[in-house]
Structure 1
């Protein structure tokens, strides 16, 4: 029900004749001054009493300062007792801080270097060239730079008339291991889409979450069938991306074997 906007004449007269509610006057002049002074004296007196009580109490003793023996030896270990450094085969940082190109898997037997891979310069790939491999070139370039990308090594091989293989090792700066994992996760996230592999792929043994994919065949009038496969994984601060292309079917074994060999090399 809507509220009525007007009062009846009787109601209006009653409202006009009704006396106003009494209002309690605020203390003024001397009365207000006395109240303020009393409040101040109360606060000051309470503070003084508190300090007096605290001063009469005996001091609380502090806990004794004690320390066990130092965690490190007071003297350096004799030369014959110093542990030997890890061999390069067990020290991942030694391996990955060296020539990244040496961590590329060896070219399989029967394959040749791709002479037309102009994106490679003595086994190195620029960050810009890598960004151009993606649909969102500008966005990927920005992401690489913000994630502190360090360098990219690559390889490109051919076998027979039409089979090709490409490998990218994308390394991030020390301490940015999650960047390599994030890049691998991001690439795997869309692979099940129809525009890409159209399936969830298979796990690369020993890689954790690494997967390899075989795409469905692409057919266009006037062109040979197009087959491709891909493997995506990471190890530490290095993301691995492997591609295979052919006009004939690529088996799961073909891409899986290359992926496992590259993982072993890392």
Structure 2
């Protein structure tokens, strides 16, 4: 091939296919310096505006006169505006009428005394005080019962028990909880009353105790076992302030409703 033909062939050659061309140049990036600088200036201006506005607001508030509060809507007060004249002020309650004074004293003095002709029961506490662990031992699970009483805030327990004739026994317990706190006494009484309707206990809802908002007394069905005398039982549960009261009466003869009700009412009266 001659030189002229080579030049002619070169001039008439077709351009390469675009799909076979490889991109080798790096992409062009737009400058961002101006954008970042603008965003920074806006943020700084916002902070300066916030601080300046807060300072100006505090300054204006400090220079203002205090605004008086509106009067309370109390056209009349329950107590006199001036002290009562001498001799007209109410007298303080006597210790015998002040429940708190009575409850914080010797709790044993609030127990009903044993009736005439009765003797102290063998299981009665010697000095009238029942330890908390001894009290918890009367339940099926003494450990759990002890923890439960401690959680309720039990403070002390006064108890008495007497016997009339051969088989009639009566026991009264005053379980006092934290001073000026009625929740412990109320909760314990409520728990005892809650399982009274079960067949293993009274099997009934009991009856309301007059003079107590939630007190109740119960007559149990007779318990009969071969080789044993019949056994009758009655109970009462109520509370007065921070003192929970429980009363147990047992006998081989039927216990009347009037007997347990009268016993509970008289014990409530002493509180």
User: Structures share a fold, TM > 0.5?
Assistant: yes
Task: Identify the match of residue 112 of structure 2 among 93, 102, 105.
Answer: 105
Task: Identify the match of residue 134 of structure 1 among 129, 132, 139.
Answer: 139
Rounded Cα–Cα distance in structure 2 between residues aligned with 1:127 and 1:53: 64
The SS at the match of 1:263 is helix
Note the residue ranges of structure 1 that are not aligned, 5 or more in a row: 1-24, 66-70
Alpha-carbon displacement from aligned partner over 1:23-47 (angstroms, at most 9, x marks no partner): xx99843422233223423553576
Rounded Cα–Cα distance in structure 1 between residues aligned with 2:57 and 2:106: 74
Rounded Cα–Cα distance in structure 2 between residues aligned with 1:150 and 1:142: 13
1:1-266 aligned at under 5 Å gives the runs 28-45=32-49, 48=52, 59-63=63-67, 84-114=91-121, 116-117=122-123, 120-266=125-271
Rounded Cα–Cα distance in structure 1 between residues aligned with 2:62 and 2:135: 74
User: Cα 1:202–1:54, aligned 2, differ >3 Å: closer, same or farther?
Assistant: closer
User: Cα 1:77–1:225, aligned 2, differ >3 Å: closer, same or farther?
Assistant: same
Alpha-carbon displacement from aligned partner over 1:142-193 (angstroms, at most 9, x marks no partner): 1222222221111111111111111101111212221111111111011001
RMSD of aligned residue pairs (Cα, Å)? 3.3
Rounded Cα–Cα distance in structure 1 between residues aligned with 2:61 and 2:253: 93
Rounded Cα–Cα distance in structure 1 between residues aligned with 2:64 and 2:198: 71
Deviation at 1:207, TM superposition (A): 1.2
Rounded Cα–Cα distance in structure 2 between residues aligned with 1:202 and 1:105: 21
Contact 1:148 1:176 in 2 (8 A): no
User: Cα 1:26–1:96, aligned 2, differ >3 Å: closer, same or farther?
Assistant: farther
Compute the TM-score of the two structures, normalised by the length of structure 2.
Answer: 0.76
Number of equivalenced pairs: 236
The SS at the match of 1:154 is strand
Structure with bigger gyration radius:
2
Rounded Cα–Cα distance in structure 2 between residues aligned with 1:56 and 1:93: 56
The SS at the match of 1:262 is helix
Deviation at 1:120, TM superposition (A): 0.7
Rounded Cα–Cα distance in structure 1 between residues aligned with 2:260 and 2:235: 7
